[in-house]
Amino acid sequence: MIREQMLAAEKVKALEWRDKTLYLLDQRLLPQQEHWQGYKTAADVALAIREMRVRGAPAIGVAAAFGIVLAAYQHWAHNAANWQATLEADFAVLAQSRPTAVNLFWALQEMRDCIAALGDDKNPLPAIEAQAVAILNDDREANLYTAQLGLQVIREACSTPQHVMTHCNTGALATAGFGTALGVIRAAYLDGLVKCVHINETRPWLQGSRLTAWELVGEGIPSLLNVDSTAAHLMAQGKITWVIVGADRIAANGDVANKIGTYQLAVLARHHQVKFMVVAPSSTIDMQLESGVDIPIEEREGAEILYLGGQRVAAQINAFNPVFDVTPADLIDVIVTERGIVTQPNKQKMQALMQQSETS
């Protein structure tokens, strides 16, 4: 039942693949303008990722996969004999677009494996395109299933409508479908378990006030916007019962990299006995990295902090702008993925999650 309701509630899309073109909704312009633009080359897709026209870990991965499809079409047309070698430059430019979200590297590896398996197939393009479409469809399915698992966690813990805080944007705009953390929040709302969503504005790029607010208000989900530094005050007043966030990379021990400010929310949540849930597809889990210390943290231009709407607001000072932070696993109550639910995450439980689903 919830699945049908969720599908009916879907209104927003971040990207679309049609007529051998990747279309992206330009997230720099939302909510003032809904501008779709078509992309034909991997380099342009990489720039769109770098400039955050498309953002959010799963959506970045899907866009990169289609970047490789575009490159394959281009090189096959011009250089059929040597097309696989020519693709290397496109893999490199896409891999350099943003460093933290592991979904980008995961999706590129999926594309690489698919192309390697094709060998010298005389008609490789349909299979390459199908691989990117599968990455997109799998993310949609993962969103829908994960939302139901997250809802189950909330149902088991609570019987009355909850006050949820979320950070950044983890909705349809950040994925190929229903969203991760926002997917759980949506499903819980449809189930009558959300009273109000408190959206952190998410400085400096304002994913909360521009994107999450746009998605939730568009669906009539009761929400309030607050500045990021309101979190402690709200929790001290007992006004938050859950913090539900997404992830850009989860290390093998359950440490989670997510939008800057997530770590302080986890510290606050633990101090105020507020439950802390992380929601992500398993493509966000990086078992190669032992702990969060090893996760590369993107630093962006200081101008994102020094200027607002093109207008300088800061004094003549340099800015430090890391855009992700790492929440240690022991501050996380539960990680929810399409492979299952991990409570009090640690290395053994993360390993079991990844192994068990590979074999089942």
Q: Which residues are the active-site residues? A: 248
Q: Is 259 in the site for ligand MRU (CB under 6 A)?
A: yes
Q: Does 180 bind ligand MRU (CB under 6 A)?
A: yes
Residue nearest to ligand MRU (CB): 246
Is residue 345 close enough to count as binding ligand MRU by CB under 6 A?
no
Options 246, 254, 292, 345; binder of ligand MRU; rule CB under 6 A: 246
Distance CA(162)–CA(192), nearest Å, equals 9
Residue 41 per-residue DSSP state: S
Interaction of residue 166 with ligand MRU, rule CB under 6 A = no
Least Å from the CB of residue 34 to ligand MRU: 18
Helices and strands (DSSP H and E) totals, the chain? 12, 16
Please, which residue, 84 or 282, has the CB nearer to ligand MRU?
282
Which residue in 84, 131, 148, 207 binds ligand MRU (CB under 6 A)? Answer: 207
As measured in angstroms, the least distance from the Cβ of 128 to ligand MRU is 25
**Contact residue for ligand MRU among 174, 185, 342, 353 (CB under 6 A):** 174
Maximum Cα–Cα distance across the chain: 67
**How wide is the angle at C-alpha 216 spanned by C-alphas 278 and 226, nearest 5°?**
75
> Considering only CA atoms, which of 223, 191, 221 is closest in space to residue 209?
223
Q: Nearest approach, Cβ of 234 to ligand MRU (angstroms)?
A: 19
Q: Does 97 bind ligand MRU (CB under 6 A)?
A: no
How many chain residues interact with ligand MRU (CB under 6 A)? 17
Among 323, 332, 334, 353, binds ligand MRU (CB under 6 A): 323
Within its chain, how far is the Cα of 285 from the centroid? 12
Select the residue interacting with ligand MRU from 110, 138, 219, 248 (CB under 6 A): 248
Give me the DSSP letters along 155-186.
Answer: HHH-SS-EEEEE-S--SGGGSSSS-SHHHHHH
186 interacts with ligand MRU by CB under 6 A: no
Closer by beta carbon to ligand MRU, 54 or else 93: 54
Listed residue (338, 66, 326) closest to 178, CA to CA: 338
The secondary structure element, H or E, covering residue 139 is helix 125-157
Q: Does 339 bind ligand MRU (CB under 6 A)?
A: no
Nearer to ligand MRU, 174 or 193 (CB): 174
Count of residues in the chain: 360
**Residue 210 engages ligand MRU in binding (rule: CB under 6 A):** no
Which residues have a Cβ under 8 Å from the Cβ of 46 and sit 6 or more positions away?
A: 64, 67, 93, 94, 96, 97
DSSP 8-state class, residue 14: S
| Element (DSSP H or E) covering residue 267 | helix 262-271
70 vs 74: CA distance, rounded Å: 6
Tell me whether residue 162 or residue 283 sits nearer to ligand MRU (CB atom): 283
Least distance to ligand MRU, CB of residue 257, Å: 8
Binding to ligand MRU (CB under 6 A) within 223-242 occurs at none
Site for ligand MRU in 39-68 (CB under 6 A): 55-58
Report residue 338 as tokens: 């399409």
CA nearest to 43, candidates 21, 61, 64, 25: 64
Q: Residue 273 Cβ, how far from ligand MRU at the closest point, in Å?
A: 24
Q: Is the peptide bond before 126 cis (omega within 30 degrees of 0)?
A: no
* Two structure tokens written together for 181: 């953390």
Distance CA 250, CA 145 (A): 19
Per-position x/- string for 100-119, each x denoting binding to ligand MRU as judged by CB under 6 A, each - no binding: -x------------------
Contact footprint for ligand MRU (CB under 6 A) = 55-58, 101, 168, 170, 174-175, 180, 207, 246-248, 258-259, 323
